[in-house]
Amino acid sequence: MQRRQFLHATLATTSLVLTSKTAIGIEYDGKPFIINSGIGGNTTADLLSRIETDCLAYKPDMTILMIGTNDMNSVKYIPLPQYEKNLRRIAEMIIGVKSQILLMNVLPAYEPYLFTRHPKEFYGAEGHKGRKDKVNARVKSVADEYKLHFLDMNHIFETVGNIGEESNSLIKNMANSGKTDGIHPTTDGYRTMAIAIYEKLKSINAPHKRLVCFGDSITNGGGGVDGTSYPAYLKKLLAY
């Protein structure tokens, strides 16, 4: 926990030159920026607890939001009705600072690996995929109700991600990462996400000069806007 807090504090500090208005009041200098506000292990409840400092304080004109993997999978499990309530509140608060939202749904997982960390019985009769499908249906419902931009990242990964144990899977496995992960994207997975987001931003012709990527470890991808996270690749594509 201390390491995660340190990394998050470091990220906030090193991003100051890019921000519109941070928690300590630095004013936007007119240059476009992208902020990686992903923290591993976060749920919708965690995002609500830090939304003021890690999202709203930057006064984004576009927020890219992906959250739900830990709500449905972890020991921090949040039942679906509360998940939807939290997601709605997050959307309302972001809209309240006049930011548009690009909302993404939850990625598929490789279940044989997932079930080594979370007992299969944890998901009940619906199973992991059934629960994920219900979560993603609520995500789409919220996007439709609030007229948010929506990107079906789950479909992209299910269709071209080759989710499994082959080395070309877009989700980490033993062959491509030496880990029985099954949840997090590979470097190629993050590139795929960044390209899909970039094309979506261009197609909707919405403002995105002050851009915050808000979410959990799938957003964080190692932290910052350098390296191999989707925010890092998106920064390169946008030439920020």
Q: Dihedrals φ, ψ of 150, to 5°?
A: -130, 140
Predicted confidence (pLDDT) at residue 58 exceeds the cutoff of 70: yes
pLDDT score of 21:
38
CATH code at 2-17+30-238: 3.40.50.1110
Whole-angstrom distance, CA of residue 163 vs CA of residue 170? 7
Predicted confidence (pLDDT) at residue 8 exceeds the cutoff of 90: no
Min mean pLDDT across 14-23, 26-35, 214-223 is at: 14-23
* Cα 81 off chain centre by: 20
* Mean pLDDT on 79-100: 98
pTM of the predicted model as reported, rounded to 2 decimal places: 0.89
Q: How sure is the predictor about 27, in pLDDT bands with cuts at 50, 70 and 90?
A: low
Whole-angstrom distance, CA of residue 175 vs CA of residue 153? 23
Ranges of each domain in the chain: 2-17+30-238
